[in-house]
Structure 1
Amino acid sequence: MFKKNRTLGIILILFMLVTAGSVGFFFHKAQANQVSELNMFKKLFVIVDLVKRSYVEETDIDTLLTGAIDGMLESLDDPYTVYLPPRDFENMQEEFDGKYGGIGIVITMKDKQLTVVSPITETPGERAGLEGGDMIMAIDGVSTKDMPMEEAVGMMKGEPGTEVTLTIKRKVSEEESAKEPKEFDVDIVREEIELSYVNSEMKTDKIGYIRLSQFIDGVGEEIATEIEKLHKEGAEAYILDLRNNPGGLLSEASKVASNFIDKGFVVHVKERQREKTSIPVYSGITATDAPLVILVNGGSASASEIVTGAIQDNERGVIVGEKTFGKGVVQSVIPLSDGSAVKLTTAKYYTPKDRFIHHQGIEPDVEVKYNPDTEADEQLDEAIKILEDKLN
C-alpha cells in the first residue's frame, strides 16, 4: 500500500510541476474539463501501477515517468518540443555559457532525422567539412534512428582530445539528383569549444565585415560596438555574415536588426489564442543607414531568419547566398524543480510582411551557391562586389 501511495504521489507531483506555468488557466477551466482529465490521469496511474506490480522484470518509477513524458511530447510531432532531463538541460546551459568539450555543431530533427543545422565557425565540425543539411545516421556505430536529440548531443560531447565517428548521409546537388545520397564516415577529434560570437574586420578600405555566430544575450549591443569601431576605421558599407548561424534569443534578433532598421517592426509573434504581437525596433540602438549585405545559407536558422526577413521586407539591404533553413517557430524553456526542463514551442513568427517561413526558408536576393571545390569564398566576394558598386 505504501508503494502504491508513493507512486500516486510522484505522479501528482509530476502533474503539478508540468502545469505550474499555467495554473491560472487550468483552474479557470477546471469545471468543464476536470472529469475527463482526471479520468485520463487515473488511467495513467493504473497502468504505472500495473507495470510496477506485474511486469516480468523490476522497473524504475523515474524511467517509467520519463518515458510517459517523452511519449506525450513526441505525440505533438514537433522536433523542437522536448523534455530535458537534468544532464541534458545542463548541457544546453553549457553551450549558452560558450564553453564545452565537443565538436562544435548545431543539430535538429528534420523529417524525423537527426540533421546538422550548421557547424560552428572554427570548430572541429567545420574543419571536418560538415555542412548544414547533413543527416547523422550513426554516432560511433550506434544508429540514430529514434534516438532523442539530447542523447545524440551527449554522445557527441566529451573530453577534448577524444575521437567520435559520425556516419553522414549528404544529399546530392540538384545536378546529381538522380543519384543516391552519399553516405560516409567522418572521424572528428573533440576540442574545448570556446565560442566567440561576434568578430569583425575591414575587408576593403571602405567595407566592414561582421560575423555573428549565434544570438546569445548581449550580441545586439556588441554588433553596435563593432559597427562604431569599423566606422572609425573607414567603413562606409557593411556585410553581416549569418551563414551557419543557428539562431538563439528572439530579443537579440530584434536588437541586431535594429542596428540597420530605424523604424517599424522587426517581427510579428503569434501565440495560441492571442493576437499577434508586433516587436518594434529597439530604441536603445542607433541604426546605421550605410549600404548593407546579409550573407546566409542553409545553416542560417531561426533568429538569423528573423533578421534576414526584417532586412528583406524593409528593403534595407541585399540578401546574398543560399536559401535559409526554414525555422519559423519560437521555443520557451521552462525549468522544473528537479533540475530538468521542458523546451516547448509556444509561438510562430512572421516577417514584417507577414511571411511564415517555417519549412520554407528565405530565398536570397542574389543566389550564390557554395562551391566546396575552391578555397575562394564566392559568396563573400559577391557581397563585396555589390557594395563596391553601391559606393562607386
Structure 2
Amino acid sequence: MKRLRTALLVLIVPFALILGIWLGGHPDFLPGFARDTLVSDTDGRLYEEAIDKIEADYYRDVDRKALLNKSLESAVESLDDQFSHYFSPTEYHAFQLDTEGAFEGVGMSVTEVPEGLRVSQVYDGSPAKKGGLKEGDVIVSADGKSLKGKNSDESTALIKGPAGSMVTLKLKDGRTLTLKRAKVDIPIVQHRQETHDGKKIGWVSLAGFTSGSGDDVEAAVKDELKKGATGIVFDLRHNGGGLLNEAVEVASVFLPEGRVVSTKGRARPERVYNATGGAIDGKIPVVVLVDQGSASASEIVTGALQDRKRAKVVGTRTYGKGVFQEIMQLDNGGALDITVGEYFTPSGRNLGGGGVRKGAGITPNIQASDDPKTEPDEALEKALETVAAG
C-alpha cells in the first residue's frame, strides 16, 4: 500500500506541475477566485515584458531606470490631478531636504502660476540674487523641462539640487540663466517689532510648514510679546504649505483648544485634529496676512483662526486647495505624492473645488494688497492698522 501511495505521488507531482504551467498560460479556464489569486501579477508581468522588449530591440540603448521613472510619472499624470505627482529618487531626496528645513538650491521663494513659477522673493547673497533673478520674474523651464501645468512642489524639485551643481532656468521674458546651486540659509520664521499709532505690534512671518516650524513660530510670537507687543500680525503670504502636523502646531499657538481641521478620503476615515495646548492669551489681537500664494497648510491655519473668531484675515483671496496628499516611498528610492482626501475647516468648509480643482479659497475679512512698485508694504500697513484698532 505504501508503494502504491509513493507511485501515485510520483505521477501526481509532475502532472500537477504541468497542469499549473498550462493554467498559468490559460487563465480563462480557471474559476474566478483561483484566477485572481494565481494571475494577480499579470499587469506587472505585462509591464516587464514590454520593458524587456524595448530594452532588447529598440534601435538605441535605453536606460531601464529612466523608463521606469517616466512610466510612473505618466501613470500619475493620467490621474489629471495637479496636486499628485511622482518623485524620482533624486527629486524625492530634494523634497525630503525641503520638508526638513534644509535647502540646497538657488535661494528664492516662488508662487505657482499656469506658466510655471513666479518669483516672490529673492534672498540676499543667494545664487538667484547673484544671477539676476528678481521679484516678479516667471520661470517657465528648468534644465529644459517645462514647468507649465506642474504644481509648485514638482517644479521646485526640478530647481533644487546638490550644492555645487548647475541648473539652467528659462524665464518668460526670454532670458536664460545658469546658476550654481548652493546651501542657502533661508529663515523659515522671521520676526520683528513694528509700531502703529504708538502701539507695539509683533510681525511674525512663516515661509513654509517644515519640520519644527510650529515650535519656531511659538518662540517668535512669545518673544515679541515679551518685548512689549500688544498684538500680532502673522504673515503667511507666499507660503505654499507643507506638513499637516506642523499646521496643527502653528494653529495651537493661537487656539487654546478645539478643532483645527478634519480630513476624510475614500480610503481614509475621518480624522479630527485638535489644538495641542499652550496658546497665547485669547485677548491679544491677531491678524493673519495672506495672498494668492497662501495655500494648503496656510489655508488650514487661516481657516481655523477665522472660523473660530480668533483672528481677522487681511489680504487677498488665498489659493484654494482643499485636498491633502500623502507621500508613499517606493522600492526604487522614489515616492508617490498622491491626493488621498479632502480637508475641512472647523465650520465644515472645504476650500478647494470639491477635490483636485482649484477652489474658492479663503476670503479675507479686510481686502488689502501690496503694490510691488511702491516702497511701503500696503498690505502689511493695513494689517498693522487692523491689529492696532483691536
Is TM more than 0.5 here? yes
The 3 A distance-change label for structure 1 pair 154 and 365 is same
Identify the residue that residue 201 of structure 1 maps to in structure 2: 192
Q: What pairs up with 1:1-392 in 2 under 5 angstroms? A: 34=37, 37-95=40-98, 96-106=100-110, 113-116=115-118, 118-119=120-121, 128-131=133-136, 136-139=139-142, 143-144=146-147, 150=154, 153-155=157-159, 157=161, 164-168=168-172, 183=173, 185=175, 187=177, 192-204=183-195, 205-283=199-277, 285-289=278-282, 290-358=284-352, 359-360=358-359, 361-390=361-390
Identity over the aligned pairs, expressed in percent?
A: 30
Secondary structure of 1:354's counterpart equals coil
Deviations 1:111-138 (A, max 9, x none): 6x5344854766666884434xx75333
Q: Partner amino acid for 2:140?
A: M
Bigger mean CA deviation after superposition, 151-160 or 248-257 = 151-160
Q: Take 2:166 and 2:72, find their aligned partners in 1: how far apart are those partners?
A: 33
Contact 2:119–2:134 under 8 Å retained in 1:
no
Tell me by how many angstroms 1:53 deviates.
3.5
**Offset at 1:257?**
0.8
**Residue 270 of structure 1 aligns to which amino acid in structure 2?**
K
Which stretch of structure 1 is more off in the superposition, 36-45 or 334-343? Answer: 36-45
Secondary structure of 1:310's match? helix
In 2, distance between residues paired with 1:346 and 1:77?
A: 14
* Maintained 8 Å contact 2:143/2:167: no
Provide the secondary structure at the position in 1 that maps to 2:240: coil
Q: Is the 8 A contact 1:144 1:152 kept in 2?
A: no
Larger radius of gyration: 2
Cα RMSD over matched residues? 3.2
Between the two proteins, the alignment pairs up a number of residues equal to 342
For the residue of structure 1 that corresponds to 2:288, the secondary structure is strand
> Gaps (5+ residues) in structure 1?
1-29, 169-182
CA contact (8 A) 2:116 2:155 kept: no
Deviations 1:236-274 (A, max 9, x none): 111101111111111111111111112221111112234
Q: 1:335 to 1:156 in 2, by over 3 A?
A: closer
The answer to which of 147-156 and 61-70 deviates more is: 147-156
Do 1:259 and 1:288's aligned partners in 2 also have CA atoms closer than 8 Å? no
Cα shift at 1:44: 2.3
Deviations 1:179-199 (A, max 9, x none): xxxx55475855542121112
Structure 1 residues 157 and 319 mapped into 2: Cα distance closer, same or farther (>3 Å)?
same
Q: Is the 8 A contact 1:124 1:188 kept in 2?
A: no
2:208 counterpart letter in structure 1: Q
Task: Give 5+ residue unaligned stretches, structure 2.
Answer: 1-32, 353-357
Structure 2 Cα separation of the partners of residues 78 and 314 of structure 1: 31
Distance 1:35 1:353 in 2: 49
